[in-house]
Amino acid sequence: MTAKLITGFALTFILAYAAFRYEKQALLAKLGAEVATIMLANNVPDGAAHWNDANNRPTRTAQLSGTATPAMRAKIIAELANHPGIYRATWP
């Protein structure tokens, strides 16, 4: 009985983890493509967005990078602030 219970918990954990990984990848790919479109529209061809925090956990905060003037950075961050799915955008 205990072995079945442990096996059931393990299988449930593995399935939940796999679903989380799959959905996370799909969501971050979609948001990343939308950020790239906004950056290209603002003449930042080398722009990138990173979605992990300091502990390497996924987050909805876009950490942006790329060659842009401070005014252009502020404009891009303002555009992303109104974007659904993105909590916040920063440019270190």
Asked if the structure places residue 49 within a domain, the reply is: yes
Q: Give the 3-state secondary structure of residue 60.
A: strand
pLDDT at 74: 94
37-91 pLDDT tens trace = 999 999 999 999 988 888 888 788 999 999 999 999 999 999 998 888 889 999 9
Asked if the structure places residue 1 within a domain, the reply is: no
Asked if the structure places residue 21 within a domain, the reply is: no
Asked if the structure places residue 18 within a domain, the reply is: no
- Is-contact 62 31, C-beta < 8 A? yes
Q: How far apart are the first and last CA of the chain?
A: 54
pLDDT at 58: 79
Domain that holds residue 40: 28-90
Instruction: Report the C-alpha gap between 58 and 72 in whole angstroms.
Output: 26
16-40 pLDDT tens trace = 888 777 777 788 888 889 999 999 9
Residues contacting residue 31 through CB under 8 Å, at least 6 positions apart: 49, 51, 60, 62, 85, 86
Asked if the structure places residue 78 within a domain, the reply is: yes
Q: How many domains does the structure of the chain reveal?
A: 1
